[in-house]
Chain A
């Protein structure tokens, strides 16, 4: 299908286009017999499910359904927020921030990028509700929640390979919580057994998704390619932003630079072929061995830039929303660079975890999960693409906006408390 080159056909049902091109849908299906290994397959699985449910869709309608699914993920998070006690103003502003970010990626309607922040929000919503309503207290809930979390985590990791640590750490936090007494009179051995059951259900569901929907369709030599390779972006990202060392080494953010760099270790490898990732990782290690000072300087530059560039771009957004964002982010923008921003995320995350474990507040747990995700996304953006790009870093943008909204909410609550004290003091007799 050459739809990408003829987007004016996006309003014609896909089945009609196929029939026009190949004579009939059956003829098209018979002609599709060439094996192809894709990476990050969740988008393809989701589109397959949508097209099986609604076979008469056009491309534009498919994009609309994908958009509504993303909005539903944001709404699920807003529901958690309101259910935990967040004000309607906070919920509304959070929903508008989510919509604003989705609207800011008009060229990526059919892409997996707008799913990055929305799926993290869905994951936090599911785990947050599980903590608030103690879904794991009953054996059936334990099994079902483990399975749902496993499938959702596998779906997210196959939407973006680098988000596997996020879903892994978030689930680990829930698992750790299962081992706590939480006011129950259950002995430690029994809690450990429940934790093992939960972890087992998670792993079985994750494995079932991975094997049943992805790996079993792939040839044995193509299984490693179902995930995004690490070596390729890790090495090429040394050229983001362009610097003296990257120029000296000939490293730049372009796919064609990858095979040239890999050939310095193994001249026989081809782009994304067998041994390509290993060769690039070998080249990366050799850079640390031979140029440690230059590598430290490159990463210092990248970590300084990560996040701070995002604040600059977000605060320059056009229109009324842009001015509101500029005011909202003004306090965070006082932080001098990306190191400080990462420090803030770590501090908020640690504080939220401590608050949850001391006072059993599910809202603190949800904030801790959001902060863990923000730390990991920030580190990823510092190591890989340090300059802000909305489609890559939309979760980081959402988190910094949400954190600022929480700050505004805290100010509103503090103001109300002060006003209440003033009223009480004025009303009380001398």
Chain B
């Protein structure tokens, strides 16, 4: 008997699909699945590059940025 999951899709087929989706350019599937994949990628990137997700701008050498901030404070 072939190993299968609850929804009836063979485990081997699922493994191949995961491998294809992980490494190869493949036929597009549902948007919901894409969103789920991207959420996984976000979590993975936070795990790998946590520092890249936060910044602490300790300098502001750009005159345009200073003027923009001044105007934004005045308008807000």
Tell me the A residues contacting B by CB distance below 8 Å: 1, 3-4, 7, 10, 14, 18, 29, 32, 36, 38-41, 43-45, 47-48, 51-52, 55, 59-60, 62-64, 67-68, 71, 75, 78-79, 82-92, 95-96, 99-100, 102-103, 106-113, 132, 409-410, 412-413, 416
Contact = CB atoms under 8 A, between A and B. Distances in A.
B25 A87 contact: yes
B3 interface: no
B76 A67 contact: no
Contacts of B48: 96
A92 B69 contact: no
A85 B45 contact: no
Interface string B20-63: 11111111100100110110111011001101111111111110
Contacts of A78: 38, 41
A38 B68 contact: yes
B23 A89 contact: yes
A96 B45 contact: yes
A112 B23 CA distance: 35
Given A51-B76, A55-B76, A87-B22, A7 B38 contact: no
Contacts of A103: 49, 51-52
B41 A88 contact: yes
B65 A111 contact: yes
A112 B64 CA distance: 8
Given A60-B57, A99-B45, A412-B23, A84 B28 contact: yes
A421 B31 CA distance: 30
6 contacts: A3-B60, A7-B58, A41-B68, A45-B72, A64-B55, A111-B62
B7 interface: no
Contact of A82 (B37, B70, B75): B37
- Secondary structure dominating the interface of B: helix
Contacts of B61: 4, 107
Nearest to B56: A60
B54 A38 contact: no
A412 B22 CA distance: 11
Of A41, A43, A82, most buried by chain B (CB within 10 Å of CB) is A82
Contact of B38 (A62, A82, A112): A82
A112 B65 CA distance: 7
Contacts of B62: 107-108, 110-111, 113
A18 B74 CA distance: 10
Interface residues of B, number: 46
- Quick one: which of A55, A86, A100 has the most chain B CB within 10 A? A86
Contacts of A92: 41, 44-45
Given A4-B66, A67-B53, A79-B38, 13 more contacts: A32-B74, A44-B72, A47-B72, A48-B72, A51-B73, A75-B38, A82-B38, A99-B53, A100-B52, A107-B61, A109-B55, A112-B68, A412-B24
A86 B55 contact: no
A44 B68 contact: yes
Contact of A71 (B26, B40, B53): B53
B13 interface: no
B36 to A, nearest CB: 10
B1 interface: no
A39 B64 CA distance: 8
A188 to B, nearest CB: 30
B26 A87 contact: yes
B25 A44 contact: no
A99 B51 CA distance: 10
A91 B24 contact: no
Contacts of B40: 88
Contacts of A75: 38, 42
B37 A1 contact: no
Contacts of A86: 25
B71 interface: yes
